[in-house]
Amino acid sequence: MRTSIATVCISGTLEEKMLACARAGFDGIEIFEQDLVVSPMSPEEVRALANRLGLTLDLYQPFRDFEGVDEALLPENLRRAEAKFELMNRLGIDTMLVCSNVATATVDDDAVAASQLRRLGEAAARHGVRIAYEALAWGRYVNTYRHAHRIVELADHPAVGTCLDSFHILSRGDDPSGIEDLLAEKIFFVQLADAPVLSMDILSWSRHYRVFPGQGGFDLAGFLAHLARAGYAGPVSLEIFNDTFRQSNVERTALDGLRSLLWLQDRAAARLAAGTVVPENGAAPRNDAGAAYPMHLASLPDVQAPTGFDFAEIRTDEPESVAQMLAQLGFGFRGQHRRKPVQLWTQGQARIVINGQRARGATPSISALGFQVAEPRRGVERAVQLRARAVSRHNTADEQELRGVNAPDGTEVFYCPATPRPAWMGEFGAAAPEGDEAAALIEAVDHVNLAQPWQAFDEAVLFYESALRLETRPATEVPSPLGLVRSQVMRTADGSIRLALNIVPQVLDGAGASARAYPEHVAFRTSDIFAVARRAKAAGMDFLPVPRNYYQDLAARFPLDEATIDTLRGLDLLYDRDEHGAFLHFYTETVGEMFLEVVQRDGGYDGYGAPNAPVRLAAQFERNRLRGGQRTTT
């Protein structure tokens, strides 16, 4: 599949955009008019740069408000168009996008629109170019792809075809399976955009909230499969209007975009292979598994979702504060790495590595996660094909090689063999004998919560979904004293991996610096949280203190007896319950940029104590303030 991206998607100057698109690996780009108009580069220079970078210039856009006008307006519209055709000749671009008229159309008559587009096609042909007519979802008379296609058929000129844009089709709830009935040679161009499902006017939704395929709520794999079945084989281009993308790092956004197309092709190919491109109109699915299409869809190495956490690593130059908390929670010290300033602590299947390497000045934070997978090599291969940067650990011959990649926020993600006793544990000297399992009240890591910079949130979700095959759950918003924290749970279907990603609110301090006070955490699972909490209290652990008001509210919300409330209050435990079961949990004090949590799931409780999250955030904010203010990072 030929990949392309509109310059409007990303930040920077036209030159920076072109460099970033080439570096990310796109085949071509769409030149968005505004980017050219404000550029110091001449059309010839743009063309030469594209050439040097190996980028094709696939489309010039947008050309607005042409068809359906009073005949008196047509000469001026044609003059405007001819100026653009001349410009396209200088750029070496052969296709111009024409949006359906939103402003000047006064004639609601397909025959008139078609004859005007035909005259535009004749002018285009004289310049050796062609036009792709796109139905904007808010076009005055033409706002569906079928309608645009009908007009194109009526225009009946070889230089007049359509542009299909997934946003305009799917935002209206239109059925994309009709794409398969269009004339493939009349589909001149395809634009893809996903979007979160929002209820707002379509124009605002389109101009500000589009995201890359896989980051929103539309079925773009199905959309692409319909295009393949229609026989389309031209460029597939990302056209994303998104306020965040336009102010984020250009290289990262371009890479994120290309990753979205790689993953999309893989999913569309799988759908086609299975013959399960289910038409949304309820018609029986056409099963053409094994059919060949002119569009070649690239596949990724197939992998299964992880089956458990292998380890979590905390990097810090003050390992003792973390080690002390782990000891208080009942973890056993399994020794120092024989070669490196790294400690291993375990309890049940929970393994925490405290890494003091390259950690000068680093307060404790979560730096790496190991995921147990069936085929580690294949997992890394897939992630690298998805343009993640590879990292590797260990170099001496007798040590286990760990392979992994960097997640967008820099967290190292390792693909580890699935085993109850990882081989790398043998590299740690046995400081304490294993087998004190009677005391192992903690069974495993329940979930990990990672803070994400606001610009990299969609990118992180796409990464974990595509590279690790985690599923997303509906996002939630948690109020905190510093703003709303958007939280996205990503997990395996069976819950063996649960990862919560949180957007950190941006807070400016008095001096205008960006302050962050949102720590990350690892949560451990137990089936006797009272025993873990009592043991930790007896060992002198600092709990995150829970406000008394919380327990009064709890007593009002749930019919808990007074003794139970007293016990919860005495141990700083939080409580939640839903139709499936109950949830008990507590938090440690924050050290550096992280803290720990212990949870107990009773019955079929599958959540994370969402009603308690604001209590936790407010309590942490209070503690932070009392301890002398926020850390400031930028």
Ligand X SMILES: O=C(O)c1ccc(O)c(O)c1
For the annotated binding site, the residues are: 134, 165, 191, 239, 447, 521, 597
Minimum CB distance to ligand X, residue 120 (Å): 17
Q: Note whether 30 binds Mg ion by CB under 5 A.
A: no
Q: Note whether 4 binds ligand X by CB under 6 A.
A: no
Out of ligand X, Mg ion, none, which partner does residue 62 contact, by CB within 5 to 8 A per kind? ligand X
Q: Are 507 and 621 in contact (CB under 8 A)?
A: no
Q: Which is nearer to ligand X, 203 or 513 (CB)?
A: 203
Would you list which residues are annotated within the binding site for a divalent metal cation?
A: 134, 165, 191, 239
Among 28, 62, 161, 408, binds ligand X (CB under 6 A): 62
Q: Note whether 191 binds Mg ion by CB under 5 A.
A: yes
Minimum CB distance to ligand X, residue 355 (Å): 47
Among 65, 165, 310, 313, binds Mg ion (CB under 5 A): 165
Residues 80-119 touching ligand X, rule: CB under 6 A, are 97, 99
Out of ligand X, Mg ion, none, which partner does residue 43 contact, by CB within 5 to 8 A per kind? none
Could you give the CA distance from residue 9 to residue 256 in angstroms, rounded to a whole number?
A: 11
Length of the chain equals 634
Q: Which residues of 58-79 are buried (b: 16+ CB within 10 A; e: fewer)?
A: bbbbbbbbbbbbeeebbeebbe
Minimum CB distance to Mg ion, residue 191 (Å): 4
Q: Which helix (DSSP H) or strand (DSSP E) does residue 205 occupy?
A: helix 202-208
Please spell the DSSP secondary structure of 436-478, one letter per residue. -GGG--EEEEEEEEEEE-GGGHHHHHHHHHHHH-PEE---EEE
What are the backbone dihedrals phi and psi of residue 540, each rounded to the nearest 5 degrees, phi first? Answer: 85, 20
Could you give the CA distance from residue 165 to residue 137 in angstroms, rounded to a whole number?
A: 10
Q: Which is nearer to ligand X, 190 or 573 (CB)?
A: 190
Minimum CB distance to Mg ion, residue 169 (Å): 10
CA angle 154, 155, 161 (to 5 degrees): 105
Number of CB atoms found within 10 A of residue 595's CB: 23
Could you give the CA distance from residue 95 to residue 108 in angstroms, rounded to a whole number?
A: 26
Could you give the CA distance from residue 309 to residue 233 in angstroms, rounded to a whole number?
A: 42
| Residue where the block lists tokens 């024409």 | 98
CA angle 421, 427, 432 (to 5 degrees): 75
Could you give the CA distance from residue 38 to residue 31 in angstroms, rounded to a whole number?
A: 12
Out of ligand X, Mg ion, none, which partner does residue 617 contact, by CB within 5 to 8 A per kind? none
Q: Which is nearer to Mg ion, 57 or 532 (CB)?
A: 57
Out of Mg ion, ligand X, none, which partner does residue 61 contact, by CB within 5 to 8 A per kind? ligand X
Q: Which is nearer to Mg ion, 239 or 427 (CB)?
A: 239
Q: Which stretch, 234-242, 313-321, 340-348, 503-511, contacts Mg ion (CB under 5 A)?
A: 234-242
Out of Mg ion, ligand X, none, which partner does residue 522 contact, by CB within 5 to 8 A per kind? none
| Residue where the block lists tokens 């740069």 | 49
- Identify the CA nearest to 59 among candidates 131, 120, 110: 131
Minimum CB distance to ligand X, residue 170 (Å): 12
Minimum CB distance to Mg ion, residue 589 (Å): 51
Could you give the CA distance from residue 329 to residue 522 in angstroms, rounded to a whole number?
A: 13
Helical segments of 248-365, H only: 250-274, 319-328
Q: Which is nearer to Mg ion, 136 or 462 (CB)?
A: 136
Q: Which is nearer to ligand X, 241 or 428 (CB)?
A: 241
What are the backbone dihedrals phi and psi of residue 470, each rounded to the nearest 5 degrees, phi first? Answer: -85, 150
Q: Which is nearer to ligand X, 143 or 206 (CB)?
A: 206
Q: Note whether 206 binds ligand X by CB under 6 A.
A: yes
Q: Note whether 134 binds ligand X by CB under 6 A.
A: yes
Out of ligand X, Mg ion, none, which partner does residue 523 contact, by CB within 5 to 8 A per kind? none
- Binding track, positions 227-246, relative to ligand X; x by CB under 6 A: ------------x-------
Size of the site for Mg ion (CB under 5 A): 3
Residues 161-200 touching ligand X, rule: CB under 6 A, are 165, 191
Minimum CB distance to ligand X, residue 136 (Å): 6
Could you give the CA distance from residue 522 to residue 313 in angstroms, rounded to a whole number?
A: 10
Could you give the CA distance from residue 259 to residue 467 in angstroms, rounded to a whole number?
A: 10
Q: Note whether 194 binds Mg ion by CB under 5 A.
A: no
Give the residue closest to Mg ion by C-beta: 165
Q: Are 611 and 587 in contact (CB under 8 A)?
A: no
Out of Mg ion, ligand X, none, which partner does residue 600 contact, by CB within 5 to 8 A per kind? none
Positive or negative CA dihedral for 227, 228, 233, 236? Answer: positive
Q: Which stretch, 72-80, 188-196, 400-408, 607-615, contacts Mg ion (CB under 5 A)?
A: 188-196
Contacting residues for 61 by C-beta, under 8 A, at least 6 apart: 6, 30, 31, 32, 33, 96, 97, 99
Q: Which is nearer to ligand X, 64 or 340 (CB)?
A: 64
Q: How many helices and strands, by DSSP H and E, does the chain display?
A: 17, 27
Minimum CB distance to Mg ion, residue 134 (Å): 5
Q: Note whether 61 binds ligand X by CB under 6 A.
A: yes
Q: Note whether 207 binds ligand X by CB under 6 A.
A: yes
| Residue where the block lists tokens 């000749």 | 89
Which residues are at the interface with ligand X (CB under 6 A)?
61-62, 97, 99, 134, 136, 165, 191, 206-207, 239
Which residues are at the interface with Mg ion (CB under 5 A)?
165, 191, 239
